[in-house]
Structure 1
């Protein structure tokens, strides 16, 4: 018997990843794992369990036109009470996690080590008691040992591993920064709670334009890790913008993953005027009409709010809207990330 991984994305940003056997309906698998998806008839008649399958192959058993039209089924809508997976799937559930009697899962781990990549960034490596399911690009809340506080960070590691990594900005006076720069010890206990966020890699069916600002590179590292495993025939352009050359961290890893994938162009930009670099300024100084492929492109952006706003305005100036625009704003404060996504 084959078991597939099903990611359930709830409307409040929480994601739960469940296992579903190849002869099992998704609603039954969810219930078995204590998640009550919206349900009434269980027979494909009422339409209460209608969701949207963003990714994956599956078979739909009986359903009536009153519950879901053939046109909806062709668009990717499913009835989870009649859906039997034939591959790993991602499903968007039009209900909150609380309504479905579930919540973000908490996974315990211990610190393996801290890497000081630069004066402005750290790498945190955590060994988990078990792999944590997430979609590349999503984030979790990470407890800060000895403080009772937690902070939100995107995974920079591949899904499905029992080792999680994070790329973290060094904020003077910050709780996590203080821990990483001074008191961190291998073996320190941490808890990861999540995953969460609507910023994650969708099926790659057209050219990709990825824009990373500073430690906003983290989710793209996770995305590159997945593409390196799954492969793609679509071109990927990654703009990586930082202040100074010393802030171009994890670049060797990015380039190694790009070489494995093939068809990935990595473009770095420095904002500091006194650093020598081929490209200076901001991302919007270098994004061109050619990058937007006439609108046939998926754009992903992770960076501070001014970067998101500037890129949106730049699209208007160029007179081209991308097919999809997904973004995550992170605030350079102790409040953590403001996750979000928009589709054009």
Structure 2
């Protein structure tokens, strides 16, 4: 995979498409004025500037595969969140936004070593970039995902995510015919996917701690586990 360019200055991005993922999450496809290659797992900072000069910015993981002039950012609507509420309630195709990136090296996947992604809820966003890249280069076996989500209605990328590379764990409501009853993520959910892979864990601090504990219990070396924790930021 081509290494990402060194992070540049702020640039304008045009909103090309807005797509609903769940009742509380939308994906914003942005056309970059100065496209730069990114690695799956990296993120961009998005900045809003009010007429009085007040600025607010938030970091959002890239969900799209690398190698194109646009990026997909999936944003969860947080009550009272000044950035997420503006994006969900105001922004539409044709608008201009200010972004900077790509950023982040620790959680980035090089696209070469086999990887396992373990996601809780919206933590699937950077891992989706990994899965999409593996599928696009014709090597879907490179990436396995285990995604923990409350219910089918809360599942991001529901038309694309399911497949032989993905295990879905529903914690509260499982769909009819699900081979696994609803319940929290367990070591048994992870065991078949561990193999000889680098592991990327993304979700809330509590989810990451639980998942990491299961992985260590399964014998995965701590040095093979990379963790990205997130919390409400608006």
- For the criterion TM > 0.5, the same-fold answer is yes
Pick from 183, 208, 211 the counterpart of residue 308 of structure 1: 208
What's the secondary structure of 1:187's corresponding residue? coil
Give the equivalent residue in structure 1 for 2:110: 202
Q: 1:156 to 1:252 in 2, by over 3 A?
A: same
Contact kept? 2:171, 2:185, Cα under 8 Å: no
Match of 1:131 in 2: 35
- Scaled by the length of structure 2, the TM-score of the pair is 0.84
Determine if contact 1:204/1:234 at 8 Å carries over to the other structure: no
Shift of 1:273: 4.8
Q: 1:291 aligns to what? A: 193
Structure 2 residues not aligned, in runs of 5+: none
* Max Rg structure: 1
> Which one of the candidate residues 79, 84, 89 is aligned to 1:177?
84
* Distance in 1, Cα, partners of 2:76 & 2:226: 22
Aligned counterpart in structure 2 of residue 140 of structure 1, from 30, 38, 44: 44
Unaligned runs of 5+ in 1: 8-14, 17-102, 259-263, 335-344
Q: Give secondary structure in 2 for the equivalent of 1:309.
A: helix
TM-score normalized with structure 1 length? 0.59
1:330 and 1:322, CA in 2 relative to 1: closer, same or farther beyond 3 A? same
The answer to whether the 8 Å contact 1:297/1:323 transfers is no
Higher relative contact order (CA 8 A, sep 6+): 2
Residue equivalent to 2:233: 333
CA RMSD between the two structures: 2.6
Mapped contact 2:65–2:132 kept (Cα < 8 A): yes
Which whole-Å CA distance do the structure 2 matches of 1:143 and 1:268 have between them?
A: 33
